[in-house]
Structure 1
Amino acid sequence: MKRSTLEIWVGLFVALGIAAIAFLSLRVAQGSPWGSSAQQTYTVYADFSDIGGLKVKAPVRTAGVLVGRVSDIQLDPKSYQAKVSLALDGQYKFSSDVSAQILTSGLLGEQYIGLVQGGDTEDLKAGDTITLTSSAMVLENLIGKFMTSFTEKNAQSSPGEAAASDAGQQ
């Protein structure tokens, strides 16, 4: 009798532990039907020429404060730009001239969208498109540009150095 009671308590404890881990995992992944997803949101769009490593459910921040999440990313077949859908928390209102840029947390951290409030008195409404956007800075592209400019500078300085050394030898 004591052994079966002990087994029941251990089984109950293990089941509660698994349920707690599942709950916390869903909360961290923002996939939980409880809490934050019950808030009212409105969707706005932003077009970017390059989104880098931006992913669905990436944070949307203003002044470091989480104000929404990326809800969808599509390729616009007409302009061939990435059309990003932003689900913004209903309690935050932005002006119609708000700007959006893709930023990175730290040097190699996750990418997120940063919103900078504009000065217009008219508010951004559901379904509007943010027109002032700045695409992601892709580290590989920056390194490539640096290497290209470094190579060009070396190539330009080499003929001049050769002419100067020829003049000094004469």
Structure 2
Amino acid sequence: MTGLVRENAFEAVIGLLVVAVAAWFILFAWNRTGGGIDDSFRVKALFPSANGVSVGTDVRVAGLKVGSVAAQRLDPQSYQAEVTLALNDHLKIPSDSTAAITTEGLLGGTYISLLPGGSETPLKNGDVIVDTQGSVDMMGLIGSFINRSGSEAPQPAAPGLGTMDEPAAR
């Protein structure tokens, strides 16, 4: 029996190391995706468009992460995206704050930016942020910019060429 343990000791140590790394990775992923956030309160925000937002998306104030998206669903009354935000409990964000879905640049990721208001009363668990701005459709904006042919007014015909209804001047 001791000979068997000596022969397989190296494999046992490697197996134990693999199990320890897997447990560390699971714990890291749980905390990173917000599964381990227990010191948070939840508020809701209704957005007309929530493109690019999913569970785990960052919520930031002044560029710093203060929470993450905990859930999202379609509000059956208003047909808007109802996004539940899990915010750090130690923050006292004013109740008249605004929420906007923004990107880090043309190719950057999407996050929800909170702009604190001036109210003395802070957001509490279960409150709703009413002043929101949905995501901007970047592909639609780029497409409309590319397909735009200049000014809005119709261009006059060049002198001497005429139009379809009148013959060209000679």
TM, length-normalised to structure 2: 0.80
Aligned-pair identity (%): 33
Between 97-106 and 20-29, report the one with greater CA deviation: 20-29
- Match of 2:146, SS state, is helix
Post-superposition offset of 1:110: 2.4
Structure 2: 5+ residue runs without aligned partners? Answer: 163-168
- Match of 1:145, SS state, is helix
CA distance in 2, matches of 1:56, 1:32: 8
Asked if the contact 1:39–1:89 (Cα under 8 Å) also holds between the matched residues in 2, the reply is: no
Structure 1 segment 7-22 matched on structure 2, within 5 A: 7-22=8-23
1:64 paired to 2:60 = no
1:117 is matched with 116
Q: Which amino acid aligns with 2:145?
A: F
Aligned-residue RMSD, C-alpha: 2.8
Asked if the contact 1:51–1:136 (Cα under 8 Å) also holds between the matched residues in 2, the reply is: yes
1:142 is matched with 141
Asked if the contact 1:26–1:32 (Cα under 8 Å) also holds between the matched residues in 2, the reply is: no
- Match of 1:102, SS state, is strand
CA distance in 2, matches of 1:103, 1:40: 25
CA distance in 2, matches of 1:6, 1:103: 58
CA distance in 1, matches of 2:119, 2:160: 61
- Match of 1:146, SS state, is helix
Q: Which amino acid aligns with 2:117?
A: G
CA distance in 1, matches of 2:47, 2:26: 31
In the alignment of these two chains, the number of paired residues is 163
1:105 paired to 2:104 = yes
Post-superposition offset of 1:85: 0.3
Deviations 1:3-30 (A, max 9, x none): 7425223322333234314423541453
